[in-house]
C-alpha cells in the first residue's frame, strides 16, 4: 500500500504513475529484483545528515553513496549517513527503510544522483517493503525538485 501522504501528493498533482506489488524485501537490490526492474532504474533513498540536518539522497540501486564526493559537491559541508533512530519518526506513514524519495513531503532537502536523469522511468519504494511506484523521471523531478549531483559510485 502506498504511503497515504505519497498517494495524496501524486494524485493531487495529477502525476502519471503505476504501482507494483511484490513479496516483502528489505534492500534496494532485492526490491529491484522482486519488481523485475533493473538496478539502475530502481531509485533507492539513502538518509543523510548534512551539517547535522536530515536530507535524502536518491540514486540508482546499483550504486553506493560516496560521502566524500557529496561533501565536496556541497562545498565541504559535513556529510554522514543517518542512523535509523535519527529518522524513523520523520516518516510516520512509512515502514522504516521504505520511504519514498520525496523529501519535500517530509520537510527535508533531496539530492539526486544525476545518473538517474538519463532514465525514461524510475521506480522507488512507496512507503512499504511490498510496494513500488514507477513514473517518468521527468515527473519525479518536477514533483520532488531535487538538487542534481554526481555523488555515487558503482558497487
Maximum Cα interatomic distance, the chain, rounded to a whole number of Å: 41
Mean of all residue pLDDT scores within the chain: 91
- pLDDT bucket at 154, cuts 50 / 70 / 90: low
Kindly state the average pLDDT of the residues 129-153: 90
- Measured CA to CA, the distance from residue 114 to residue 152 in angstroms comes to 9
Radius of gyration of the chain (CA): 14
Q: What is the pLDDT of residue 155?
A: 52
* Residue 113, C-alpha cell as written in the block: 544522483
Q: What is the pLDDT of residue 141?
A: 95
Please check whether residue 108 is in contact with residue 55, taking contact to mean a CB–CB distance below 8 angstroms. yes
* Residue 135, C-alpha cell as written in the block: 513514473
Q: Which helix (H) or strand (E) holds 76?
A: none
Q: Give 56-96 pLDDT, tens digit per residue.
A: 999 999 888 889 989 998 999 999 999 999 999 999 999 99
Please check whether residue 131 is in contact with residue 147, taking contact to mean a CB–CB distance below 8 angstroms. no
How large a percentage of the chain has pLDDT more than 70? 97
Please check whether residue 152 is in contact with residue 44, taking contact to mean a CB–CB distance below 8 angstroms. no
- 152 backbone dihedrals φ, ψ, rounded to 5°: -140, 170
- pLDDT bucket at 152, cuts 50 / 70 / 90: low
Count: domains in the chain: 1
Kindly state the average pLDDT of the residues 8-33: 93
Q: What is the pLDDT of residue 119?
A: 85
Q: What is the pLDDT of residue 58?
A: 95
Residue 76's domain comprises 4-154
Q: Give 120-138 pLDDT, tens digit per residue.
A: 999 999 999 999 999 999 9
CA angle 23, 127, 21 (to 5 degrees): 30
CATH number at residue 95: 3.90.960.10
Amino acid at each position: 500500500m502506498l504511503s497515504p501522504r505519497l498517494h495524496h501528493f501524486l494524485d493531487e498533482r495529477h502525476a502519471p504513475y503505476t504501482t507494483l506489488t511484490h513479496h516483502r524485501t528489505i534492500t534496494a537490490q532485492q526490491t529491484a529484483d522482486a519488481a523485475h526492474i533493473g538496478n539502475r532504474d530502481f531509485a533507492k533513498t539513502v538518509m543523510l545528515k548534512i551539517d547535522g540536518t536530515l536530507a535524502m539522497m536518491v540514486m540508482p540501486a546499483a550504486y553506493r553513496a560516496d560521502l566524500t564526493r557529496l561533501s565536496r559537491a556541497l562545498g565541504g559541508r559535513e556529510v554522514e549517513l543517518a542512523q535509523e533512530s535519527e529518522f524513523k519518526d520523520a516518516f510516520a506513514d512509512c515502514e522504516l527503510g521504505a520511504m519514498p524519495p520525496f523529501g519535500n513531503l517530509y520537510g527535508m532537502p533531496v539530492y539526486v544522483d544525476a545518473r538517474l536523469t538519463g532514465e525514461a522511468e524510475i521506480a522507488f519504494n512507496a512507503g512499504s517493503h511490498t510496494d513500488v511506484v514507477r513514473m517518468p523521471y521527468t515527473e519525479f523531478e518536477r514533483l520532488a525538485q531535487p538538487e542534481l549531483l554526481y555523488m555515487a559510485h558503482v558497487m
